[in-house]
Amino acid sequence: MRSSVEIYNIKTRQSRIVWQTERLVEAPNWSRNSQFLIINDDGLMYRLPLFGAPVPVKIDTGFATRCNNDHGLSPDGQWLAISDKVEHGKSCIYILPAEGGTPIQITDNLPSYWHGWSPDGQRVCYCGIRNQVFDIYTITVEGSDERRLTQGEGRNDGPDWSADGQWIYFNSSRTGLMQIWRIHPDGTGLQQITNDNYGNWFAHPCPNNRKVVLISYDPEVFDHPRDLNVRMRLMDMDGGNLETLFELFGGQGSINVPSWSPSGEEFAYVRYFPVSA
């Protein structure tokens, strides 16, 4: 077995397995009606039912067949954002109907990696790499008014919007180890949220604006690789009460994108298993 798609309930403190496969699948998103997860596998996108037989159903993404693990549904569930490099050779953000269809290009500046939607569905946030500088940006879903929120202070990555629209959470190495920060969408009010001896990545605020889930690496680990022993952690919106929920063999692909259930009581993730030689 290679990948195990699982769901963790923050009230019962228990996980359940949704589906296991020998394939490498990544980055589950939760549908707005709680009927399925969206995952990526070998450049393609799939719906994974949460009820009945867990048989993945391919989503038609047109020419976009080299999707990475940066994808997610709009707040109303009508649109799917993807990051794909078929057209330009670099990751570009597109949106398409959630049921499948022709991708509509959003970002002209590349590479750009989608990470979150604004609560009103009018903008997306993403990591943009410009001249090897990683920064946080937002843009309208029509592809206009790109705004740069950080200015190259270390590596900035993994942005995600809070449910009230007041904050964009992201991870940054500006003080050394990768830590979690947040900033208002207009670029003001920068705050450091975590400050410990772990490499903290991919902070995702829950839909009820009470908790934030994140993944943490040992301090000597650079970037966010796959196939390492990591920690799934939970904290208050201001960084308080930071705790480790469980450890797992994972990392890249486990929780790159927003994966909370609509109720904010559960989140999905992928656990990996070592590949036999």
The torsion of the CA quartet 77, 83, 85, 89, rounded to 10 degrees, works out to: 140
Q: Which two tokens stand for residue 179?
A: 């830590």
Give percent above pLDDT 70 in the chain.
99
In the predicted model, is pLDDT for residue 277 greater than 80? no
With a cut of 70, say whether residue 68 has pLDDT above it.
yes
Question: Which residue range is the domain that position 267 belongs to?
Answer: 3-272
What is the average per-residue pLDDT within 108-135?
98
pLDDT in tens, 36-49: 999 999 999 999 99
Confidence tier at 154 by pLDDT (50, 70, 90): very high
pLDDT score for 155? 98
pLDDT, position 275: 79
Q: What is the mean pLDDT of the chain?
A: 97
pLDDT tens digits along 5-60: 999 999 999 999 999 999 999 999 999 999 999 999 999 999 999 999 999 999 99
In contact, 91 and 106? CB cutoff 8 Å: no
pLDDT digits (tens, 9 = 90+) for 165-179: 999 999 999 999 999
Taking the mean position of all CA atoms in its chain, how far away is CA 106?
18
Mean pLDDT for 80-107 is 98
Percent of the chain predicted with pLDDT > 90: 98
pLDDT for residue 61 is more than 60: yes
Residue 217 falls inside a structural domain: yes
Q: What is the pLDDT of residue 1?
A: 77
Q: Contact at 8 Å (CB) between 5 and 18? A: yes
In a domain, 266, yes or no: yes
3-state secondary structure the chain: CCEEEEEEECCCCEEEEEEEECCCEEEEEECCCCCEEEEEECCEEEEEECCCCCCCEEECCCCCCCECCCCEECCCCCEEEEEECCCCCCCEEEEEECCCCCCEECCCCCCEEEEEECCCCCEEEEEEEECCEEEEEEEECCCCCCEECCCCCCCEEEEEECCCCCCEEEEECCCCCCEEEEECCCCCCCEECCCCCCEEEEEEECCCCCEEEEEEECCCCCCCCCCEEEEEEEEECCCCCCEEEEEEEECCCCCCCCCECCCCCEEEEEEECCCCC
Does residue 248 fall inside a structural domain?
yes
* HSE value, Cβ hemisphere, 13 Å, CA-based, for 165: 8
The residue-averaged pLDDT of 273-277 equals 77
Q: pLDDT band at 118, cuts 50/70/90?
A: very high
Whole-prediction pTM value? 0.97
Report whether 105 contacts 90 (CB < 8 A).
no
| Number of domains forming the structure of the chain | 1
Please report the pLDDT score of residue 43 as a whole number.
98
Asked if residue 277 belongs to a domain, the reply is: no
Residue 256: give its domain's CATH number.
2.120.10.30
Contact between 93 and 116 (Cβ < 8 Å): no
